[in-house]
Amino acid sequence: MRAMILKSVTDLDLNQEPLVMTKMPDPIPDEDEVLIKVTACGVCHTELDEIEGRTPPPRFPVIPGHQVIGKVAAIGKSVKELKPGDRIGVAWIFSSCGKCSFCLGGYENLCPEFRATGRDVNGGYAEYMTAPEAFTYRIPEIFTDSQAAPLLCAGAVGYRSVKLTGLQDGQNIGLTGFGASGHLVLQIIKFKYPGAEIFVFARSETERIFALELGAYWSGDTTDNVPEQLDSIIDTTPVWKTVVEALKNLKPGGRLVINAIRKEEIDKEYLMNIDYSSHLWMEKEIKSVANVTRGDVKEFLDIASKIPIIPEVQEYRLEEANVALTELKKRKIRGAKVLVIR
């Protein structure tokens, strides 16, 4: 098969071709796995973090890609439900141990043996991949392959971040940073909590106007004071300034959920602006979102098909993966980037 492989950590500003097109043998599924003929694979910011070493793969070479849509091409001996031809998806959670206290307690995303698709094992920037049957998802018919791919990561993690806020209908909630993930989160909140007022913090005027068009109650700059304090805020930015600025807008007992796999170092000194009495006192909480569970992915796909959330996508061929990644790095974004593999 053809695959785009990552051979080592590299700096995308200096190396615009981090992945190399390679011919390699098709993978063979284990007993509990399926072989998937990949048809679409989303391109995610986390791939930039893998390539540049902020969340490096443990072994090289590796095939990236964790928003995979394809058809079952072959099945292992103990596969029960899936048959060749079935359309399925694979998300960031490739597997977990199934036995530890986290797995048994509903937190398989925190399992010490959590394995991430496209980082710890080969992912979907290829013609074929294998995955455990138990960690695959049927894809609602309403979505094309390209439309479904980006839902598997940004959407599912965004959904988890909403769950972690503990939001109840009628409360208010802030979203800081209004990129692809913010748009999805806004739609999830409007669907699940129709009585919630949504406050959007964004640097660009265009994003602030767009937020109001999508149904936000208020929008302003990331440093603005909100007219009323908020029960919770979800931060999807890569920087620290928004963390400090969000904390001042929380109610007593309010919670800030940070939905970012890594924060960048560029503005870390902004944390020195933290003032205990206005930013943290009164039982304010900070919580991060780590990975996703299979439940998050399944529940989100169901919600997305009902709303429905149909992502805007920009398609690339497999051999154009480096173009998609460098454009993502330079924030040239017109919809979610998806590799289409024929």
Contact footprint for Zn ion (CB under 5 A): 44, 46, 96-97, 100, 103, 111, 153
Amino acid at 91: A
Tokens for 310, please give them.
């149909």
Task: State in angstroms the smallest separation of the CB of 149 from Zn ion.
Answer: 10
Q: Which is nearer to Zn ion, 153 or 216 (CB)?
A: 153
Give CA separation, 251 vs 89, 275, 277, 340, 341, in Å.
39, 15, 13, 45, 48
Task: State in angstroms the smallest separation of the CB of 299 from Zn ion.
Answer: 17
Q: Which is nearer to Zn ion, 46 or 172 (CB)?
A: 46
Q: Which is nearer to Zn ion, 68 or 216 (CB)?
A: 68
Tokens for 43, please give them.
């391109």
Task: State in angstroms the smallest separation of the CB of 298 from Zn ion.
Answer: 17
Task: State in angstroms the smallest separation of the CB of 165 from Zn ion.
Answer: 20
Task: State in angstroms the smallest separation of the CB of 97 from Zn ion.
Answer: 3
Task: State in angstroms the smallest separation of the CB of 111 from Zn ion.
Answer: 3
Q: Which is nearer to Zn ion, 117 or 219 (CB)?
A: 117
Amino acid at 184: L
Q: Which is nearer to Zn ion, 103 or 216 (CB)?
A: 103
Task: State in angstroms the smallest separation of the CB of 244 from Zn ion.
Answer: 26
Q: Are 93 and 135 in contact (CB under 8 A)?
A: yes
Q: Which is nearer to Zn ion, 99 or 268 (CB)?
A: 99
Q: Which is nearer to Zn ion, 28 or 134 (CB)?
A: 134
